[in-house]
Amino acid sequence: MRLIENIKLSLFAWAAWLVTSVWLLTCRELVFGQEIQADYQQRNPGKNLLYATWHRGLVYCLYYYRFRDMVVMASASSDGELAARAASRFGWIPVRGSSSRHGPQAFRQMEALVKKGYSAGIVTDAPRGPAHVSKLGIILLAKRTGLPILPVIWSAERCWRINSWDRTIIPKPFSRVVGLFAPELIQVPRDADKKECERYRQKLDNTLNRMMYQVDHFFTPAAGDDPRKITVPEDFDPNAT
């Protein structure tokens, strides 16, 4: 029975990789703000980063950073097993665990891999939400490794939204997809206390949510040619975008 289950999971991962790769290959990709990543890598040759995003954009994030030997955390649940195998097909290195199950072990494994030189991609409101609210894990990882966090967000001109807590985005074929990198890195001091870590967590949330507003409004008629030019209302609700 276990052998049959493994075969099914392997077939699912292969099919997910093939279908997603062909599907998203039809999309037109527009990415803004990459210079911050290029500048950091130029000043710190061979040094890695911690990429932070919301769970809603996970599909395109896995595709965009495919085959770059990046670490990602997948839930220890049965659904997480499917996600981990699919991520592996895209060249990611999955570690199993979440804030609700096997979290400390997964955190230590991810920390060890990051310290060896791997970058990590973290969906910070995973695994169950609430949407657009980070867990503290990425802040602690940045503190312990000394690596900066680079927020990045994705949206699509035409897409389906899965009826789930995170409203996962599935770009429609031949749609335009927009990616936006934050204007600055978030560096958490190694001696940051609990209150300081919480302030950095809130800063990350504010950054991601403001960027989310900009990419979600980029394809409106009055948006212009750069999402960074879109003014974000101070009182906007990130769960209403």
pLDDT, tens digit (0-9, with 9 covering 90-100), for 176-193: 999 999 999 999 999 999
Question: Which residue has better confidence, 104 or 37?
Answer: 37
Question: Which residue has better confidence, 84 or 63?
Answer: 63
Read off the pLDDT band of 194 (50, 70, 90). very high
| Predicted local confidence at residue 49, as pLDDT | 96
Most confident option among 4-8, 96-100, 131-135: 131-135
Q: Is the pLDDT of residue 80 over 70?
A: no
Q: Is the pLDDT of residue 100 over 60?
A: no
- The whole-angstrom distance between residue 147's C-alpha and the CA centroid of its chain comes to 16
Read off the pLDDT band of 13 (50, 70, 90). confident
| Predicted local confidence at residue 77, as pLDDT | 64
Neighbouring C-beta atoms of residue 22, cutoff 10 Å = 10
Task: Note the pTM of the prediction, 2 decimals.
Answer: 0.90
pLDDT, tens digit (0-9, with 9 covering 90-100), for 132-188: 999 999 999 999 999 999 999 999 999 999 998 999 999 999 999 999 999 999 999
Q: What is the mean pLDDT of the chain?
A: 90
Dihedral sign (CA 73, 104, 77, 116): positive
Q: Mean pLDDT across the stretch 3-16?
A: 72
Distance CA 183, CA 37 (A): 10
- Tokens 């008629």: give the residue: 221
DSSP secondary structure, 86-145, as one string: HHHHTT-EEEE--SSSSHHHHHHHHHHHHHTT--EEEETTTTT--TT---SHHHHHHHHH
| Predicted local confidence at residue 52, as pLDDT | 97
Distance CA 176, CA 89 (A): 24
The alpha carbons of the chain give a radius of gyration, in whole angstroms, of: 18
Read off the pLDDT band of 221 (50, 70, 90). confident
Name the DSSP class of 186: B
| Predicted local confidence at residue 54, as pLDDT | 97
| Predicted local confidence at residue 1, as pLDDT | 42
| Predicted local confidence at residue 9, as pLDDT | 65
Q: ∠111-124-193 over CA atoms, to 5°?
A: 65
Q: Mean pLDDT across the stretch 103-126?
A: 91
Q: Is the pLDDT of residue 111 over 80?
A: yes
